[in-house]
Amino acid sequence: MGFLTEPSHWIILLLLLIVFFGGKRLPELGKGLGEGLKGFKEGLKGINDSPAAAPTMQQTAAPAPPVVATPVAAAPVNSEMSYVTCSRCGNRFENPMGFKVADYVCRACQVRS
């Protein structure tokens, strides 16, 4: 016999669900699961329809207006980039936010520790 063929197993499973999720959350979880399954079934129906029956985007929508490219100003370059130096290996790393760090240790040195 399988696990879920016995009524006592269903009761134990239900009690475990109530303990883990609580009585108030179970209806919400069931509703969400039902809506998800409904959406999944509707999605499958859309896939199974023949492509000739479903109108395409080109048939239903008006043509899009042409896109005109406008020049974008380059981002200002921060000439005063802040750097920090690893206290263990001496390698230098960018500090774009400019945080003040007393004793910086790089990731490679942290892994070795």
Question: What distance in Å separates the CA atoms of residue 107 and residue 110, rounded to the nearest whole number?
Answer: 5
Maximum distance among all Cα pairs of the chain, rounded to whole angstroms:
74
Asked if 108 and 89 count as a contact pair (C-beta separation under 8 A), the reply is yes
Could you state, in order of their start, the residue ranges of all structural domains in the chain? 3-55, 83-112
| 103: three-class secondary structure by DSSP | coil
Per-residue tokens: 54 = 């479903």
pLDDT along the chain (113 residues), means of 10: 76 86 81 88 74 55 65 57 86 82 86 79
Provide the whole-model pTM.
0.31
